[in-house]
Amino acid sequence: MLAEVLLVLSSLADRAGVPRPLLLAMSAVEKCETLECMEPRAAELRAQADFTFAQYRDLREERLGDWHEAVMLSAPGSDWRDAAAYAAEVYTALREGVPGLLAPQDFTLPFPLGPPLLMLAANFSEGRELPIEYLVIHDMEGSYEGTQLLFLSADTQASAHFDIRGADGEITQQVPSTDTAWHAANWDLNSQSIAIEHEGFAELAFPDALYRSSAALARFITDKFAIPKDRQHVIGHYEVPDPHHPGWYGGYGHHSDPCDAWAGEPTWHNVIACRWDWDRYMALLTGAAPVVP
């Protein structure tokens, strides 16, 4: 029976133009061994691969790990956690192998294997009033665990969709992507954005693992919601317009990073953003630099 499954799925993989081991791992995870159920999955994976390999110059089809974004985008479910959990199962099956069907494979991934973490914040609004068009980059000015606890407290009256740990790039989701986090001090912008918090302090350098993990996460978000990968749509908190004062920024709270030097009113010229390397981050996000070292 396994020999028949191997033959059918290997032939399908060749026709669809997807790696045989990857399709076999997907079949094992989805408990789907027939041509009828795997043919549309192979076609969806190929379509997402066409999309990702065309836009990210750092990806190569011959490397199994470089299919990770296409696997996530083709996953059942719409949120990052659903996609990341599915991809983790598929790549775990690849790494460990499937007895009688698939030998263990070797690859490198942008995210650690394992189920993604969820720690639901106390304060956010269900649903969206506007389409998602922006990604907002925050720094915690503190620790990963401390920020998680802050968002768990109803007294904080704030939240973000994702937190990223500095040392290893671990990601925790605190607000579903389809819901509105309270992060930018601008309700319209909140309704149109995904927020990522980064462990660390703006006056200090951010770790390599944090940049790479954040960029890999940002690739999925910008791909999933068709957010342009440019600095007009991927912005810092300090660049969020003040909804009450045209020409002022940082939201209505006039957020700035510690080494911003305001002279008078909080206006657009305050764009120092301390040690966050925008050129590097955007290169990782767009594929001009490899997100996996």
265-271's contacts with Cβ under 8 Å and 24+ in sequence apart are 266/242, 268/239, 270/238, 271/238, 271/239
Check whether residue 139 and residue 66 sit in a common domain: no
Residue where a domain terminates, one of 96, 131, 159: 96
Check whether residue 72 and residue 121 sit in a common domain: no
Instruction: Over range 234-250, report the average pLDDT.
Output: 87
In a domain, 179, yes or no: yes
Check whether residue 73 and residue 140 sit in a common domain: no
Q: Which residue has the higher pLDDT, 245 or 215?
A: 215
The domain that holds 167 is classified in CATH as 3.40.80.10
Check whether residue 55 and residue 153 sit in a common domain: no
Instruction: Over range 191-218, report the average pLDDT.
Output: 95
| Per-residue model confidence as pLDDT tens digits over 91-131 | 999 999 988 889 999 999 998 888 999 999 999 999 999 99
| pLDDT confidence band for 262 (50 / 70 / 90) | low
Check whether residue 131 and residue 270 sit in a common domain: yes
Number of structural domains found in the chain: 2
Instruction: Over range 261-288, report the average pLDDT.
Output: 73
Residue 184's φ and ψ, nearest 5 degrees, are -110, -5
Check whether residue 26 and residue 123 sit in a common domain: no
Note the pLDDT of residue 271. 46
Share of the chain above pLDDT 90, in %: 74
Check whether residue 277 and residue 181 sit in a common domain: yes
Tell me if residue 170 falls in helix, strand or coil. coil
Tokens 């079949």: give the residue: 27
In a domain, 110, yes or no: no
Q: Quote the domain boundaries for residue 11.
A: 2-96
In a domain, 80, yes or no: yes
Query: Is the pLDDT confidence value at 255 over 90?
Result: no
| Per-residue model confidence as pLDDT tens digits over 45-64 | 999 999 999 999 999 999 99
Check whether residue 184 and residue 278 sit in a common domain: yes
Check whether residue 138 and residue 230 sit in a common domain: yes
- Reported pTM: 0.93
Check whether residue 125 and residue 225 sit in a common domain: yes
One-letter identity of residue 152: L
Check whether residue 174 and residue 81 sit in a common domain: no
Check whether residue 264 and residue 211 sit in a common domain: yes
The answer to whether 19 touches 49, Cβ cutoff 8 Å, is: no
In a domain, 225, yes or no: yes
- In whole angstroms, what is the distance from residue 141 CA to residue 163 CA? 12
Tokens 């993990």: give the residue: 213
In a domain, 215, yes or no: yes
In a domain, 107, yes or no: no
In a domain, 292, yes or no: no
- Of the candidates 130, 132, 242, 281, which has an alpha carbon nearest to the alpha carbon of residue 195? 132
